[in-house]
Amino acid sequence: MSEQNNFKPYIPAEKVTPEITVTSVIMGILLSVVFGAANAYLGLRVGMTVSASIPAAVIAMGVIRVIMRKNSILESNFVQTVGSAGESVAAGAIFTLPALFLWAAEGKMDKPGIVEITLIALLGGLLGVFFMVPLRNALIVREHNTLPYPEGTACAEVMLAGEEGGANASTVFAGLGLAAIFKFVIDGLKAVPSEVSLRVKGFAGEIGTQIYPAVFSVGYICGPRISSYMFAGGLVSWCVLIPAIVLFGESLILYPGTAPIGEIFAADGAGGIWGTYIRYIGAGALACGGIISLIKSLPLIVRTFRDAIKSMKGGIGGGQLRTEQDINMKIIFAAIAVCTLLVWLVPAIPVSLLGAVIVVIFGFFFATVSSRMVGLVGSSNNPVSGMAIATLLIATLILKATGDGGTHGMQAAIAIGSIICIVAAIAGDTSQDLKTGFLLGATPKKQQYGEVIGVVASALAIGGTLYLLDSAWGFGTDELAAPQATLMKMIIEGVMEANLPWGLVFIGVFLALAVEIMGIPVLPFAIGVYLPVQLNACIMVGGIVRLVFDRMKKEENVKKNIISDGILFCSGMIAGEGLVGILLALLAVFGVGELIDISGLLNLPTTVSNIASLVVFALLVLCVLKFTIWKKRK
């Protein structure tokens, strides 16, 4: 007897209510594309993405329950199931695929086609869903009391508190609209500078802050601890490493630089030193952090895989009750076989039969690991980047050893790494969504169809999104740093061509090891080392606001509601800025961006423009307070 027979979901198995409807499918697809595009933009800027499940659920409830006056919680759940898939596909894609654009910019290969990007995202996403389906009964049902799935459970709780759906949805939409206005003023009209920096004469270091809503929101959602680790990494790189490089090497020409360090600093300031040297140190720290997180998780990974396979032997679900029905396993295994053949045979994907085999073996292993680990520690602590780094290293070594080197081998390695990264991200997202459905009483089979719909929609959109962002600003630039993709590129080049500045990389590696020995989480610190300090400082401000909320002396339920409103408002701000970022990219590509730029007309002195930027940032923080601690509550 399965544990599901003892657990009673919110909607009983005997009761049938609408789930897959025209409304839920259309809304889910729209939210999948919207949150996919917004998270792609955010991830390329700051190297982190945020979960779309709760904001998607809240928006769905606001529309279905309040506007359409339908009392259908499972319909809203289907919307969030489809909508959240876009964020996971985007995360897997932007962590790897921009490396192909970076190589194209260097003249090493042609740009990847939109068809290639779409197929890689589509096959990775579908495999992630299909690998997870046989694990549902083992992980979601049988281990209901041992695997909490934090995000999935939180999403179910938000939906069960559906009486406040309209108010909560309005908070998300308010964040979206206000962030859109701020973003358009800052980067569209360019009425104020996007960042403020402070420099001290005689000291090569630099400190400052950006004023972007989405960057602030990352800090609020991640909380003060993660924000402080990122800010500490930024301080080390911009106020310790950069001044040291300038101080000791002013007259030296050090690879990969082509001019004396003093000249680079005179021409471009601290940013020039960061772009030439610090990014390699940051990449070394990031790679070390990813591998450390994987090594620390190895016992759990081995135990997870063993337990999941053992549980599968006890049955794969598919019972007669509505809440026990999965997609037919014959269809699942046939679909996995077809996807594997397509990875090998489709000309647009540069992967050999050996590469396809690597995809299946690593894909199933990491999908299993990801599905169980998000149940234990949540999606934010899932070492997807570590899994991708390990896969890339092994795949690149195998490809080089079997004679598949050079440009084709580099393309194949990125394609394999991309598919595995998307597989792991989608498997984790699918697990959280199925947990939500299990608690609410959804039909698993219908949710699995929803995941497939979300994957297809977001895969069709991600290629155009990447092309648009690359055309507007380019990857690896100040606007779109693409930290993970740059790291993946460096790893593959290091194996294939052995041309990395290893001295800088090893400085980053040992810096990460020192931080790990001190008991500080390496990955957020390493991302902080890699990214500009101004961006880290903006994240830190969001973390400080969250810290203030966490320490308020109010009743526990009041404080919980305030913090929850802040998360919803900030989720809306991330979506709003991401969408306007895509719009501005379109305007830049068509040459309209320069026409709406009023910075030349204003021509403010530097001091005045910096004060104006800080005033705009203060207004942004006041907006957050307006919809949280100053919000009128019933």
| Rounded-to-integer distance, Cα 375 and Cα 138, Å | 12
Place of tokens 């998360």: 567
pLDDT value, residue 452: 97
- Tens-place pLDDT, residues 406-464: 888 999 999 999 999 999 999 999 999 999 999 999 999 999 999 999 999 999 999 99
* Global confidence as pTM: 0.82
Q: Sort 243 into a burial class: Cβ within 10 Å, 0-12 / 13-18 / 19+.
A: middle
- Residue 341 in tokens: 């053949």
- Tens-place pLDDT, residues 330-339: 899 899 999 9
Residue positions counted in the chain: 634
Res 47 pLDDT > 90: no
- Tens-place pLDDT, residues 232-273: 999 999 999 999 999 999 899 988 888 999 999 999 899 899
DSSP-based three-state secondary structure for 260 = coil
Q: Which residues pair with 196 in a beta bridge?
A: 209
Among the listed residues 605, 479, 466, the one whose alpha carbon sits nearest the alpha carbon of residue 183: 479
Using CA atoms, how far residue 325 sits from 112, 269, 449, in Å, is: 40, 61, 12
According to DSSP, residue 195 is labeled E
- Tens-place pLDDT, residues 81-94: 999 998 899 988 99
pLDDT value, residue 377: 63
pLDDT value, residue 112: 92
Using CA atoms, how far residue 136 sits from 341, 440, 516, in Å, is: 25, 15, 35
Report H helices in 194-250.
Answer: 213-222, 224-236, 242-249
C-beta neighbour count of 332 within 10 angstroms:
19
Name the residue with higher pLDDT: 147 or 129: 129
pLDDT value, residue 307: 66
Among the listed residues 375, 347, 351, the one whose alpha carbon sits nearest the alpha carbon of residue 363: 351
Helices (H) and strands (E) in the chain, counts: 25, 2
| Rounded-to-integer distance, Cα 371 and Cα 356, Å | 22
Asked if 78 contacts 428 with a C-beta cutoff of 8 angstroms, the reply is: no
Res 315 pLDDT > 70: no
